[in-house]
Amino acid sequence: MAELDQDYTTIPTRYPELADKVAVVTGSSRGIGKGIALRLAKEGMKVVINSRTPEDVAATTEELESYGADVIGVPADQGTTEGVQRLFEATLNAFGTVDLIVNNAADLRRDQFLEADEALLDNQLAANIRGPYLCAQYAARQMRDAGHGGSIVHISSVGGLRAHWRGLPYDMTKGALDTMTRAMALDLARYDIRVNAVAPGATLTERWPDLSHPRMQAVAQRIPLQRFGSGLDIGAAVAFLASADAAYITGQILYVDGGITAQLSPPGQPI
């Protein structure tokens, strides 16, 4: 999809204080996670690319290396204890520290409540809650012990605030992630570790058809800003929350959704 092509040279840089700091981005071999990784690399951060698929991790790592980024790739399932351990062992071996963890990896499937089976529930509890919890815990312990503070950013969803039609168990897990964000922020503030979340709306990834598809045009018309978001839109929010400009922000959910959550009903469909 041409719409997903990112010109690395045109990505803006805003936060020189992020240069040479270390960011782990789960689920970053494609989609939103890749957009986040691109933005953080452009800010000069050392970036850890992660997903469960070794081929995708290798391809994205090689791409960022071609731009001159300081990056490693770690194939691992962040929904398992073993995967989380592997991810952080590789990170510390390569870079010696962690300054930012972005919990982006998730199982995105949604179904009707009476149709969602236990396997889907178990998978989403592992990927969408257990994984972010353990990754944040590993990162926070390292930040605390190193004494340098840091930032944790969870990637949530507008579904954590307002339920999709056909939204389970996904929306439930994102609501839990929002609550986890606030609780973690309170526990970790004493260590100068800030915890926030970014909640994307309709964001263009490989899962969507081409923008010329009638379905895409219909969805865009229901978004106040009349367009889909991009991975770089989400990456910009993550970079801000990790920066010194956000030094007094913790425990917050930032909606990057083109105005979706602000409207009571889509245009032309009044309640």
Please state the rounded mean pLDDT for residues 246-265: 96
H/E run at residue 138: helix 131-146
Where residue 33 falls (left for φ over 0; alpha for ψ -120 to 50; beta otherwise) is: alpha
Quote the DSSP letter at residue 168. B
Sheet holding 46-51, edge to edge: 71-75, 46-51, 22-25, 100-103, 150-155, 193-200, 253-256
Look at residue 178 in the predicted model and tell me its pLDDT: 98
- The catalytic residue positions are 170
Beta strands per DSSP E along the chain: 22-25, 46-51, 71-75, 100-103, 150-155, 193-200, 253-256
- Residue 5: pLDDT band (50, 70, 90) is low
Look at residue 269 in the predicted model and tell me its pLDDT: 84
| CATH numeric code, 12-262 | 3.40.50.720
Please state the domain extents for the chain. Answer: 12-262
Write the pLDDT tens digit of every residue in 74-122: 999 999 999 999 999 999 999 999 999 999 999 999 999 999 999 999 9
Write the pLDDT tens digit of every residue in 119-156: 999 999 999 999 999 999 999 999 999 999 999 999 99
Contact 48, 71 (CB under 8 A): yes
Q: Above 70 in pLDDT, residue 4?
A: no
Q: Above 80 in pLDDT, residue 12?
A: yes
Q: What mean pLDDT value characterizes the chain?
A: 95
234/239 Cα distance (integer angstroms): 9
DSSP 177-221: HHHHHHHHHHHHGGGTEEEEEEEE-SB--TTS--TTSHHHHHHHH
Residue among 216, 242, 243 at smallest CA distance from 102? 242
Please state the rounded mean pLDDT for residues 161-187: 96
The pTM for the full model equals: 0.96
Look at residue 205 in the predicted model and tell me its pLDDT: 86
Write the pLDDT tens digit of every residue in 30-56: 999 999 999 999 999 999 999 999 999
